[in-house]
A and B are shown apart, each in its own frame.
Chain A
Amino acid sequence: MTEKITLQDHPLERQIVLSRIIIGGVFVFLLLLALFARLFYLQVNQHDYYSTKSDSYRIHVQSVVPTRGLIYDRNGILLAENIPSFTLSMVREHSGDIDGMVEIVSSLITLSDEDIEKFRSRLKNRSVPFSSVPVRYNLSEEEIAKISVNQFRLPGVSVEAELVRHYPELENFAHSVGYLGSITTDELRKVDPVNYSGTHQIGKSGVEKFYEDILHGQVGYQTVEKNARGQIMNVLDRTDPIPGQDIVLHLDSNLQKAAVDALGDFRGSVVAIDPESGGIMAMVSKPAFNPNLFVQGISQKDYALLNDPVLTPLYNRALAKYSPGSTVKPFISLGALNGGFRTPEDTVHDPGWYQLGNHKHYDWTWWSNETGHGTVDMQRAIYQSCNVYFWDLAMDMGIDEMHDFLFRFGFGRNVSLDLPQASTGTLPSREWKMNTMGESWYPGETINSYVGQGYTEATPLQLATATMLMSNKGKWYRPAVLKKIGTDSNYSQASSFLPDIEINNPDHWDFIAESMEMVVSRGYGGEYRTYGSAYPYIAAVEPMKYRMAGKSGTAQVIAIPDDYDRADEVAEKYREHAWFISFAPVDNPKIALAVFIEHGAAGSSVAGPVARRILDAYLLDDEGELKSEYRFPQISEEGEEVDEAIPAEGFLSAEGSMVGAASGENINALSENDRQLATFNE
């Protein structure tokens, strides 16, 4: 023995452990006996009770689906509601032979192969046993009657009334409110499966998706007794569900419809923002689709139509990025003033082209009659959209200054509250290019960037946001679709999430706004090309009832060869995108707008009139006058309030007669010339 312990008394130890083992054995026997007694009680004494329960009257817990919250626009108009619909459902456990059952059902009512296939996949994915699985939605009254008459042949099959989502505005809000659709297995994994145990649909896009948690509510349940055929015999206990909360959006149905109408048959988008709250009042993307198609499962035929490669109705153009073209010029100009790179008085001579190295960049004027704008100052560079001025500025200011200034306006990032799917766009800089492409920056790329081409890309939402900042002089509000949740009228989003844009001389805000006003309203003067680029299509068509500021943009889709001549000879898909940003009234801004028209070819002549129609619809009353709530309370020298729209002073008063007298002939002659000119990169 190697151990040092010597005190062990082996027979005694054996005795001790042995006695304990015997005690243990007795305990084991007694406890197993107790278990057996319990089983005897369950299986002999209570056998009849449990047998009945198991065979015919099964106690079953059913979930009770909460009512989904409603969605209203800012005026209390319903954008998403719940309407009753009749659904044929089946409980697998009660039906037994699924194939036989499906055969009988399809002999009674129409069941397409697709319906059957979808039913089988739902059957496979259901989460709770004894839950009813939808076979077909939207039964007609005749079909309900047929099922009822044949109920005896259809154990486990029942007609259930349920509330389904309905979008009364159809296509108008397809991209902003979004839609519900059947829950997929992946989506079910991300939510609480108990809370969604009776829910068949979930928010797939837009507001319906982002505010799913708020809209859905909390599931309730009831304990019921069912017979072997799946019919509820008795409700024993019920916990009511908590309905989802209603939400109110900033969207304005009237404005949204006006935007849809103004776009007409164009493909494109409109985003309108309230400069006093950041609320998104309109968000249109065309072509759109009927969101009601998705709610109870879209058919393959309908879905194929929505996947048209050119029309792409499912694609939300309001949140997609495109080259912004000349719409960035007002923002770059403000940056040039603020950084001291230019004064309002500095001029540039524009012969129609700009030479960088040994490459000549031609301005849009060159393509019509081989001339330039002549001597151009900043204001003229904006209202006539002179590229040479900005190419010259680009060389002095550089790409990084532009990046830093435009970043403050929300370019290059997604700052929205509830549109996470929005693109961030692209705001290039030296660092950006090195990080994404591993290449250094070339001066020619700066030239492109200063006229909103090249790498620079922005979404209609971003341009509307930047326009909002231009109109409210840099006051940052987070762009948001949601106005408030439920009855909580105090709900408001954090407004100070980004620092307001401060500039050295606040007068420069007014200077740029004035320049943008000239874009739409500076009439024809004596000199060659002194009118605003959009004037022939906006103020000249019909006198303005309010002061409107704007800027057009025409963005190349592909690199255009130097001998490129006429837009109408070019295939539609290669035509430029047309932009128009705008806010109004200038003296009391109530709406900031971005209009984007896919392959629209010309910003001023195509997108400009669309913008005006939308502003008119929003700002004017039935008599065609500016609504009183949008008027700026002007105090005249005598101390009286002047209620009328104030014409832009200075440049317009000199040419006011021009506006009034503009004859149709005159306009047509000029506008044809301009339409041709405007097809080029403004």
Chain B
Amino acid sequence: MGYIGKDLGRRKSVWEYLHIDFPLLVALFILLGFGLMVLYSATDGNISMMRRQVAFIILSIFAMLFMAQVDIRILRRWSPWMYLGSMALLGLVIFYGSVGGGAKRWLDFPLIPRFQPSEIMKIVLPLCVAGYFSKRAIPPRFKHIFWALVLIMLPTALIAIQPDLGTALLIAVSGMFVILLAGINWKLVFSFLGVAILSSPALWIFYMSDYQKQRVKTLFDPQSDPLGTGWNIIQSQTAIGSGGVYGKGWLNGVQSRLDFLPEGQTDFIVAVLAEEFGLLGMLFIMVLYLVIIGRGLFIAAMAQDTFSRLLAGSIILTFFVYVFVNIGMVSGILPVVGVPLPMVSLGGTSILTLMISFGILMSIHTHNKTLMP
């Protein structure tokens, strides 16, 4: 009880009243601002695209501030129902989803904008799995791990058949992080990884489609398909490499300016950044990411109940995976998967989802200090 008394006695800062984490807020604002600068160059100064992006960012900031006000315990109490609701929406996608780009991912309801239920699941799944473990003793027993895996695999499967393999894998990863943080036995983790590696040839033969195989092949030999997927890799590496240490300067990128770089505004925006701002620019943005991730891990470590720790840890590690996969893909050490660079790439929904997650982080950091978990 002394533990609680200590917090009660402390004077609250104005940020705590507002439920805002100041260091995280500052780092996010710098990242968003820098991202807009890069995007301006990548879109060749396209004002209408920029206006849309800024509008989405402002909306996302409000969404984050709103989420920060919601007590984390309310989220925990409602997490099973949110999970069921999101699953129902994913189910609806299968039957009534509208098709775009060869996949069924969207839902159209009257009066509200069309949306992807998989985006909601990105937030809800870690909530639900964390909620599940918070009511059970950890390190988790085998039985509980099994049921948690079931919770993870159900939405993963529904999203994978849309098909949207990239999102499905990232959602699965966010759930896995919760299990990992909950203290699952390392032996189990390594044997699982072992099985995955051993079964990958079977995956290659039976499951992966030709275009997915091509993307993996391209990783090792971009020249094997220079007109198709190899083109992106060749061009993005040329852009990055030609940037050098200091870069060619803002708005001076050649590769992106001459339409050389496809997807230069979305998934491959890092190439524009690296070409124009050089290694120093990359160092700057990676330090920014490191600060945000570090602050997130700190919030997770300081959180005062298991639910909050698991949730915060999963959110921030998943964020890291986005960063790593995107930069890894553009710099040619990972196969090409459709993952945007968090907070920088053109596209509002990704920013909205991430900012809601950061709102949850802020809520965890500013709500937990008054009562026992």
Q: How far apart sit A47 and B135, CA to CA, in the bound complex (Å)?
A: 54
* A42-B306 in contact (CB<8A): no
Q: How far apart sit A14 and B333, CA to CA, in the bound complex (Å)?
A: 36
Q: A19 contacts which chain B residues (CB < 8 A)?
A: 183
The answer to the question of B120 belonging to the interface, with a C-beta cut-off of 8 Å to chain A, is: no
* A8-B244 in contact (CB<8A): no
The answer to the question of B293 belonging to the interface, with a C-beta cut-off of 8 Å to chain A, is: yes
* A38-B300 in contact (CB<8A): no
Which residues of A from 38 to 84 have beta carbons under 8 Å from B?
38-40, 42-44, 46-47, 49-51, 53-55, 59, 61, 63
Measured CB to CB, the nearest residue on chain A to B279 is A43
Q: How far apart sit A18 and B245, CA to CA, in the bound complex (Å)?
A: 37
* A21-B301 in contact (CB<8A): yes
Over the window 14-37 of chain A, the binary record of Cβ atoms lying under 8 Å from chain B Cβ atoms (1 yes, 0 no) is 101111111011001101101110
The answer to the question of B226 belonging to the interface, with a C-beta cut-off of 8 Å to chain A, is: yes
Q: A130 contacts which chain B residues (CB < 8 A)?
A: 258, 260
Which residues of A from 202 to 235 have beta carbons under 8 Å from B?
221, 223
Q: B301 contacts which chain A residues (CB < 8 A)?
A: 18, 21-22
* A39-B279 in contact (CB<8A): yes
Q: B244 contacts which chain A residues (CB < 8 A)?
A: 43-44, 47, 51
The answer to the question of B159 belonging to the interface, with a C-beta cut-off of 8 Å to chain A, is: no
The answer to the question of A162 belonging to the interface, with a C-beta cut-off of 8 Å to chain B, is: no
Interface centre among B135, B180, B238, B320 (most CB of A within 10 A): B238
Q: How far apart sit A50 and B350, CA to CA, in the bound complex (Å)?
A: 32
The answer to the question of B259 belonging to the interface, with a C-beta cut-off of 8 Å to chain A, is: yes
- Quote the shortest CB–CB distance from A156 to chain B (angstroms): 12
Contacts A5-B135, A43-B244; is A61 near B227 (CB within 8 Å)?
Answer: yes
* A8-B137 in contact (CB<8A): yes
Q: B294 contacts which chain A residues (CB < 8 A)?
A: 25
Contact of B238 among A7, A38, A54 (CB under 8 A): A54
* B317-A24 in contact (CB<8A): yes
Q: A50 contacts which chain B residues (CB < 8 A)?
A: 237-238, 240-242
The answer to the question of A13 belonging to the interface, with a C-beta cut-off of 8 Å to chain B, is: yes
Which residues of B from 219 to 240 have beta carbons under 8 Å from A?
223, 226-228, 231, 234, 237-240
Q: How far apart sit A43 and B297, CA to CA, in the bound complex (Å)?
A: 30
Measured CB to CB, the nearest residue on chain B to A126 is B259
Measured CB to CB, the nearest residue on chain B to A53 is B238
How many residues on the A side are at the interface (Cβ–Cβ under 8 A)? 49
The answer to the question of A498 belonging to the interface, with a C-beta cut-off of 8 Å to chain B, is: no
Contacts A32-B324, A43-B279; is A20 near B183 (CB within 8 Å)?
Answer: yes
Q: B297 contacts which chain A residues (CB < 8 A)?
A: 21, 24-25, 28
The answer to the question of B327 belonging to the interface, with a C-beta cut-off of 8 Å to chain A, is: yes
- Quote the shortest CB–CB distance from B356 to chain A (angstroms): 21
* A49-B182 in contact (CB<8A): no
- Quote the shortest CB–CB distance from A268 to chain B (angstroms): 49
* B289-A21 in contact (CB<8A): no
Q: B323 contacts which chain A residues (CB < 8 A)?
A: 32
The answer to the question of B55 belonging to the interface, with a C-beta cut-off of 8 Å to chain A, is: no
Q: How far apart sit A221 and B137, CA to CA, in the bound complex (Å)?
A: 62
* A47-B242 in contact (CB<8A): yes
* A43-B241 in contact (CB<8A): yes
Contacts A17-B183, A28-B317, A47-B242; is A42 near B227 (CB within 8 Å)?
Answer: no
Contact of A35 among B183, B258, B327 (CB under 8 A): B327
* B137-A223 in contact (CB<8A): no
Measured CB to CB, the nearest residue on chain A to B289 is A32
How many residues on the B side are at the interface (Cβ–Cβ under 8 A)? 59
- Quote the shortest CB–CB distance from B4 to chain A (angstroms): 12
The answer to the question of B129 belonging to the interface, with a C-beta cut-off of 8 Å to chain A, is: no
Q: How far apart sit A42 and B290, CA to CA, in the bound complex (Å)?
A: 21
The answer to the question of B243 belonging to the interface, with a C-beta cut-off of 8 Å to chain A, is: yes
The answer to the question of B139 belonging to the interface, with a C-beta cut-off of 8 Å to chain A, is: yes
Which residues of B from 65 to 82 have beta carbons under 8 Å from A?
none
The answer to the question of A560 belonging to the interface, with a C-beta cut-off of 8 Å to chain B, is: no
* A5-B243 in contact (CB<8A): no
Which residues of B from 287 to 316 have beta carbons under 8 Å from A?
289-290, 293-294, 297, 300-301, 305-306, 309-310, 313
The answer to the question of B255 belonging to the interface, with a C-beta cut-off of 8 Å to chain A, is: yes
The answer to the question of A568 belonging to the interface, with a C-beta cut-off of 8 Å to chain B, is: no
The answer to the question of B18 belonging to the interface, with a C-beta cut-off of 8 Å to chain A, is: no
* B242-A55 in contact (CB<8A): yes
* A28-B293 in contact (CB<8A): yes
Q: How far apart sit A24 and B283, CA to CA, in the bound complex (Å)?
A: 21
* A21-B309 in contact (CB<8A): yes
The answer to the question of B42 belonging to the interface, with a C-beta cut-off of 8 Å to chain A, is: no
Interface centre among B239, B283, B305, B309 (most CB of A within 10 A): B309
* B242-A35 in contact (CB<8A): no
Which residues of B from 236 to 275 have beta carbons under 8 Å from A?
237-245, 254-255, 258-260, 274
* A44-B289 in contact (CB<8A): no
Which residues of B from 307 to 365 have beta carbons under 8 Å from A?
309-310, 313, 317, 320, 323-324, 327-328, 331-333
- Quote the shortest CB–CB distance from A383 to chain B (angstroms): 63
Contacts A8-B137, A16-B183, A32-B286; is A44 near B245 (CB within 8 Å)?
Answer: yes
The answer to the question of A129 belonging to the interface, with a C-beta cut-off of 8 Å to chain B, is: yes
Interface centre among A13, A17, A31, A36 (most CB of B within 10 A): A17
Known: A17-B138, A39-B327. 12 other contacts (CB 8 A): A5-B136, A9-B137, A10-B373, A21-B313, A39-B279, A43-B243, A43-B244, A44-B279, A47-B244, A47-B245, A50-B241, A223-B226
Pairs across A and B, CB under 8 Å, 19 listed = A3-B135, A5-B136, A5-B137, A8-B137, A8-B306, A20-B180, A21-B181, A21-B313, A24-B317, A25-B294, A28-B320, A42-B331, A43-B241, A43-B282, A53-B242, A93-B259, A93-B260, A129-B260, A223-B226
Which A residues form the contact surface with B (CB < 8 A)?
Answer: 1, 3, 5, 7-10, 13-14, 16-22, 24-25, 28-29, 31-32, 34-36, 38-40, 42-44, 46-47, 49-51, 53-55, 59, 61, 63, 93, 129-130, 194, 221, 223, 237
Minimum-distance CB pairs A-B, first 9: A50-B241, A54-B242, A16-B183, A129-B259, A43-B279, A42-B241, A17-B309, A50-B242, A93-B258
